[in-house]
Chain A
Amino acid sequence: MSSVSLLILGDGRFPSGGHAHSGGAEAAIAAGRVHDTATLEDFCRGRLATTGLVAASLAAAAATGYDPLLLDAAADARTPSPALRRVARKLGRQLMRAVRTTWPDPELDRLAAALPAGAHQPIVMGLAARAAGLTPHDAARAAAYDSVSGPVTAAIRLLGLDPFEATAVTARLTGDMENVAGEAAGHAARLPADGVDALPAASAPLLDITAEQHAAWPVRLFAS
C-alpha cells in the first residue's frame, strides 16, 4: 500500500467526470448563499458533515470488501433526491470506467457487470481504493476530500474567487475531513456486527431541494 495511490485517487484531475459537477455549489451561488470564501467554507463544512460523512462511510465500507450491492441499496436509501441518485450513479459509472483501467481488479469488473448503469460513486471509490491497496480509512479520506474539492473548484470557476484563497478553504477544512474520515472508518468497522445499519444517514435537506431545482434549470454550467 502506498500513500501515492491515495494522491492519485484524490487528485482533482483524476479523469472520472467530476469536473462537470459542482456538488450543489452552482445552485447555492445562484441563490446568493455562497458568494465569497467565508460562505464557501460554511457551505463545504455543512456538506462534509452531512452527505460527505455518508459518502465517506460508504467508501470505507466498500473498501472493507463488504457486499457492494447491499451498500448500493443503502446508498439509495440515504439519498432522498432522485436527481442526486442519478448523479451518484452517473459519477459512479464514470469513475468505474477510469479505475478499471487505472487499477484493474476482478471485484470492479463484477460490480460493473452487476450494475451496468452505475453504482453510487462513493462505493466505486471505496472499491477503487481497495484495488489500489488502500485502507478503508484512506477510502474515507478520499471521499471526504472529494466532497469538499468539488464545490471549491466549481466556486473558483463560477465566482472567479482567488484560487489561493479558495484552496486555503480546503486546507482549513483538513481537520474536519480527518475527523469525518475517522468517524466513517469507525462506522464501516461495525458493518460485520450491524450490517448497513452501521452506516450513518445524515442528510442536508437544502442540498436535496436545490439539487432537484438545479436539475430542471434550462441554462447551467455544471451538471449538478
Chain B
Amino acid sequence: MHLHHTDPALTDIIPPTAPRPGGRSGPLRIGLGGPVGAGKTATVAALCRRLRDTLSIAVVTNDIYTREDAEALLRQAVLPPERITAVETGACPHTAIRDDISANLEAVEDLQERIGDLDLVLIESGGDNLTATFSKGLIDHQIFLIDVAGGDDIPRKGGPGVTTADLLVINKTDLAPHVGADLSAMERDARAARGSLPVVLTCLKDQHGIEPVADWVCRRLADLTAARS
C-alpha cells in the first residue's frame, strides 16, 4: 500500500481549474474544511513551513469560540504574526464560510492590504460537520479533511465536503492500525463517491507527510499563473 503518496496517475485526472469567479485578482485562496480534530490546523502549519520560502502566504482562521487555531500557528511560528488573522463566527462556523462570508472577505482584504504581494491565502474553517463547504465568493478551491480515527465509514457516508471538495485529504494514516480502520476501503469509498476528483492519504506526523497536499496546492497556483498570462 502506498499510503503516504499521491498516486502518480492522479495528476492526469485532476480536473482543470475552474475560471475564477468574476475574474478575481489577487492571491490564490484555498479553503480548508472538515470535522474538528481532522488535522486542518496541522495541515495549514505544514503547508506554511513547506511553502513559505518560495511563496508569500497568509492565513485566516475561523475558530468557533477562541483564537486557539491562530494562537497555535503563532506559537509554532509558521508565519510572522501579521500574516495570521482570526475571524469570529458567532457559533456558526459554516455560516461564516458559506452563507455570510463578510467577515472572512474582510480578513482576506485586510491581509492583502497589509502584506501587499500575497501569492496564497489559506482559510481554515471552524471544525464543523460533513455538510460544511465554502462559498465560491470566498475561495478558489477547497480542501476537505477527514481523519482515519474519525471512522472509516465517513467516505461512504459522503456529504458535500467529501463528495465535492476539490481535494479530499484522509489524514492520520498512522492511526489506522490503532483504531482498526481499513485504509484501502476508505480510499476506495472516497474515490467511488468523488468520481474524477482527487483523494490523497496523509500522515502529518511523517516529516514529509504534507507533500501530496503541497504538490496539489502548487499545481493550483501554476494553473492560476498560466490562466493570467
Contact = CB atoms under 8 A, between A and B. Distances in A.
**What class of interface size applies to chain B in its complex with A?**
10 to 19
B66 A218 contact: yes
Nearest to A224: B88
Interface stretch (B6-14, B25-33, B101-109, B212-220): B101-109
B64 A15 contact: no
B90 A21 contact: yes
A221 B103 contact: no
Contacts of A157: 90-92
Contacts of A18: 100
Given A20-B96, A219-B66, A154 B102 contact: no
A215 B92 CA distance: 19
Most buried by B among A18, A19, A97, A223: A19
A16 B90 contact: no
A13 B102 CA distance: 12
A94 interface: yes
Given A13-B99, A16-B100, A219-B66, A94 B91 contact: no
Interface of B is mostly: loop
Interface string A144-187: 00000000001001100000000000000000000000000000
B91 A221 contact: yes
A17 B101 CA distance: 7
B92 A16 contact: no
Contacts of B64: 221
B102 A97 contact: yes
B86 to A, nearest CB: 10
A17 B102 contact: yes
Contact of B91 (A158, A218, A219): A158
Interface in A1-50: 13, 15-22
Contacts of B95: 19
Contacts of A17: 100, 102-103, 106
Contacts of B99: 13, 15, 19
Interface in B113-164: none
Contacts of A19: 90, 92, 95-96, 99-100
A5 B114 CA distance: 36
Interface in A88-127: 90, 93-95, 97-98
Contacts of A16: 100, 102
B106 A93 contact: yes
A66 interface: no
Contacts of A218: 66-67
A154 B90 contact: yes
B89 A20 contact: yes
A220 interface: yes
A16 B95 CA distance: 11
Most buried by A among B91, B99, B103: B91
Given A20-B103, A221-B91, 18 more contacts: A15-B100, A15-B101, A16-B100, A16-B102, A17-B100, A18-B100, A20-B87, A20-B89, A20-B90, A21-B90, A90-B106, A93-B106, A94-B105, A97-B105, A157-B92, A218-B67, A222-B88, A223-B90
Interface of B: 64-67, 87-92, 95-96, 99-103, 105-106
20 contacts: A13-B99, A13-B100, A16-B100, A17-B103, A17-B106, A18-B100, A20-B103, A21-B90, A94-B106, A95-B102, A97-B106, A157-B91, A219-B65, A220-B88, A221-B64, A221-B65, A221-B88, A222-B88, A222-B91, A223-B88
